[in-house]
Structure 1
Amino acid sequence: MALLLCVAMSGCVNGGKRAVMDMQEAGDRADSIMDAVLGHIDPAVQWAHAPTTTGTCDVTRRRTVMTIVSEARRGSFLGLVDRFWRKSGYRIKAINNDVDVPAIYTQTKDGFGVSLIIGYEGQAFFEVDSPCVNESEVAESTTPPNGPAYEGVYPLPRPNVHSDFWSAGTP
């Protein structure tokens, strides 16, 4: 009853905090977070959208890197992203140093969970999870991928783009 009264009186959510955006705005914010990190990776990697999902009050956007990141270059890739996120003020929540599936889990100052996971055959997966926001419809991302869109293809293919740098067999 108290929660219902809180919502009715003040519109509060998120443990008593007022939601400052709706699900579409959260999806747009997630896109901007991924645009920033992928734009910082040099040399650039090719990526495609993975499915957007929604919960009762949250949105998850995903991007899958189609460039092969070799075992020898995974540390460099993770380090580049880690340094960018730290410089951007993200809080590092966890680092998985697993040889086969290394990952970095962070959180932005506005409560978005941001992760990078390196999976099978060096495929990198970026994911951004929103905090609880106001319910709304969520359109697919309008950010065009920098390679094939793979519309209607799920799961996406394994990494298939060679990079002289990221796919190299030497560190």
Structure 2
Amino acid sequence: MLTASCVSGGGKPSGRGSDRMDMQTAAEHADGILDAVLAEIHPEVQWVHGPTTTGVCDVTRRRAVMTVVSAERRGSLLGLVDRFWRKSHYRIKAVNDDLEVPAIFAQTRDGFGVSLIVGGAGQVFFEVDSPCVREAEVAEPAAEPPGPSYAGAEVIPRPNVHSDFWSAGAS
């Protein structure tokens, strides 16, 4: 997802913070946003890095939750994340309250887009999109996932980690 600030000015950085931030710094900031929201989830969930992508002037970091989150617990997880993002002064842009594929889309004060999307088999995905920033090489994320990393795998498997809390009621 590209932010509107990326396309203004012919693809030149024009978003908030773009004068002092490049793609690597934006990727590290996105990692911090992801670290913070995952640290708020108790009991802890296992996660893996998703692919990092770069556009003309933006970068996206992703994480996939490997813990099975049952349909009965999805509302709890979404509510927890929604409350944390609001407490962090993120602007909630949209909420999809669909029972099968719920999602929350928000934006940080400094223009980063954040989302939680429940996908196939109830797998939870977090994504952070930067505003338009200066071009730079982007290194892989430094954080180590709390379980198998699946680094280099073509496909991240479906959730496969059981939690007495988060997986309650899952078949």
Q: TM-score, normalised by structure 2?
A: 0.89
Distance change (3 Å), C-alpha of 1:159 and 1:14:
same
Please state how far the C-alpha of 1:19 moved relative to its aligned partner. 2.6
> Does residue 166 of the first structure (1) align with residue 166 of the second (2)?
yes
Which is further off, 70-79 or 17-26?
A: 17-26
Please state how far the C-alpha of 1:152 moved relative to its aligned partner. 1.1
Kindly report which structure 2 residues correspond to 1:41-56, keeping only aligned pairs within 5 A, or say none.
41-56=41-56
Please state how far the C-alpha of 1:122 moved relative to its aligned partner. 1.4
Partner of residue 21, structure 2: 21
For 1:73 and 1:15, locate their aligned partners in 2 and report how far apart those are by CA, in whole Å. 37
Partner of residue 38, structure 1: 38
Partner of residue 3, structure 1: none
Partner of residue 93, structure 1: 93
Deviations 1:78-133 (A, max 9, x none): 00000000000000000001111100000000000000001111110000000000
Q: TM-score, normalised by structure 1?
A: 0.89
For 1:49 and 1:18, locate their aligned partners in 2 and report how far apart those are by CA, in whole Å. 25
Q: Describe the SS at the equivalent of 1:106.
A: strand
Partner of residue 81, structure 2: 81
The aligned length equals: 160
Are 1:19 and 1:132, in contact at CA under 8 Å, matched by a contact in 2?
Answer: no
Q: Give the aligned residue type for 1:34.
A: L
> Which of structures 1 and 2 has the bigger CA Rg?
1
The structure with the largest strand share of the pair is 1
> Does residue 136 of the first structure (1) align with residue 136 of the second (2)?
yes
Q: Describe the SS at the equivalent of 1:13.
A: coil
* Structure 2 residue ranges without an equivalent (≥5): 1-8
Identical-pair percentage: 67
Deviations 1:120-165 (A, max 9, x none): 1111000000000000000000011111010111210000000000
